[in-house]
Amino acid sequence: MLKNLLVHIPSERPLRPVIDGAVSLAMIWTAQLDAISVGYETTSAGVTSIGNMELTTIIEDQRKKALERSDAALAVFDAEARNAGIAYNCRSISALPDEAADIVSGAARLYDLTIVLQPDSNDRTFDNSIPQEVLFQSGGPVLFIPHVHKGPVAPQHIGIAWDGSRLAARALRDALPFLKRAQTILVIAVNESRLAPSDLSCAAVVKRLEQRGLKASVLRLTADDAEVDQTILSAAADECLDLMIMGGYGHSRLQERFLGGVTRGMLQSMTLPTLMSH
Predicted pLDDT of residue 51: 58
For 210-241, the pLDDT digits (tens) are 999 999 999 999 998 889 999 999 999 999 99
Q: How many other C-beta atoms can be found within 10 angstroms of the C-beta atom of residue 65?
A: 14
CA distances from 190 to 203, 229, 232, 264, 267 (A): 14, 9, 8, 16, 18
Separation of alpha carbons 246 and 235, rounded Å: 14
Closest to 239 (Cα-Cα) out of 190, 202, 188, 275: 188
Residue ranges of the chain with pLDDT lower than 50?
Answer: 251, 253-257
Predicted pLDDT of residue 135: 94
Predicted pLDDT of residue 52: 66
Amino acid at 234: S
Element (H, E) at 14: none
Predicted pLDDT of residue 44: 53
Predicted pLDDT of residue 172: 97
SS (H, E, C) 37-92: EEEECCCCCCCCCCCHHHHHHHHHHHHHHHHHHHHHHHHHHHHHHHHHCCCEEEEE
Q: Kindly report the CA angle at 195 between 193 and 196, in degrees rounded to 5?
A: 75
Predicted pLDDT of residue 192: 86
For 127-167, the pLDDT digits (tens) are 898 998 999 999 999 999 999 999 999 999 999 999 998 99
What domains lie within the chain, and their CATH numbers? 4-145 (3.40.50.620), 157-277 (3.40.50.620)
